[in-house]
Amino acid sequence: MQESLQIKAMFDNIASKYDFLNHLLSLGQDFYWRSVMARELYPLRENSLVCDLATGTGDSAKVIAKRGFKVIGVDLSTKMLDISRKKLSNLPFIPSVGSAYELPFKDESFDAITCSFGIRNMHSYDIALKEIRRILKKGGKAIFLEFTIPQNFIKPAYEFYMKYILPNIAGLFSKKDAYEYLYDSIKNFPDPDRFANMLIDAGFVGVKQIPLSFGTVFVHKAFRF
Ligand SMILES: C[S@@+](CC[C@H](N)C(=O)[O-])C[C@H]1O[C@@H](n2cnc3c(N)ncnc32)[C@H](O)[C@@H]1O
């Protein structure tokens, strides 16, 4: 609970510069990552109901809603949600304040759930995954987009960038400590194999993982059994 309040406060604090810094610090790659995640929703029918968990300022929800799906975006941070509400005002999108640990929806409500760069911030992964499974229809899919420490030639340069460059650039425009937390949270997040096992333990099947941008980001997809 205390932890969720701290996360909410941190994202409320950085909300106004969040999108600008996302595009700048990812060198525009975030548009590509989100489009790959949205592509993995198919062959979902048009008008299907998608919950975009930890929707933040709604950049992923926007890509999904533009493809004709109805999206409910859930987040702890009211300031992040305020931005999503304005940005997606002409799209089939409903922002909703809520916690991943106690989602305000009935069992089996959604055809799919997406969660971009959100699960890493949820320290009780098992509770969040159980809730995600609960609100998914049987056969529905959960898709996560998440950072990973790359395990290849790029690792030293990546670590240098994340530790020394990214927080200092972010600090010029926003709260530097939030961007120091970013790297710590990526280091603490399970590697893809472990996350796949967590999905299986939580009752998902058919796990598929797609590495993007030299393995710095992964799409993790699984189905509710
Ligand atoms: C890094 S941002 C990602 C936002 C957006 N999905 C994106 O791709 O840009 C993480 C978001 O997760 C939200 N969040 C963190 N823990 C949460 C929880 N337990 N329940 C709901 N939202 C949560 C934060 O408020 C924040 O908006």
Distance linking the first and last C-alpha atoms of the chain: 30
54 lines ligand 1 (CB under 6 A): yes
60 lines ligand 1 (CB under 6 A): yes
Structure letter (DSSP) for residue 163:
I
pLDDT at 3: 77
Ligand 1 mean position, distance from CA 39 (Å): 21
Q: Which residue has the higher pLDDT, 4 or 210?
A: 210
pTM, whole model, 2 decimals?
Answer: 0.97
Ligand 1 mean position, distance from CA 51 (Å): 13
Four-way CATH pick for 2-151+190-224: 3.30.70.80, 3.40.50.150, 3.40.50.300, 3.30.230.70 = 3.40.50.150
Ligand 1 mean position, distance from CA 45 (Å): 26
> To test the ligand 1 pocket, which listed residue (4, 7, 78) has its Cβ within 8 A of the most ligand atoms?
7
Q: What is the mean pLDDT of residues 99-108?
A: 97
125 lines ligand 1 (CB under 6 A): no
Residue-wise pLDDT for 47-91, tens only, equals 899 999 999 999 999 999 999 999 999 999 999 999 999 999 999
Query: Which are the contacts of 128, defined by CB distance < 8 A and separation ≥ 6?
Result: 100, 101, 119, 122
Q: What is the mean pLDDT of residues 174-197?
A: 95
Domain ranges of the chain: 2-151+190-224
Closest CA to 57 of 100, 28, 17: 17
Ligand 1 mean position, distance from CA 52 (Å): 10
Residue-wise pLDDT for 19-38, tens only, equals 999 999 999 999 999 999 99
| ∠ CA 163-190-50, rounded to 5° | 105
If you count them, how many residues does the chain have? 225
Query: How many whole angstroms separate alpha carbon 156 and alpha carbon 108?
Result: 43
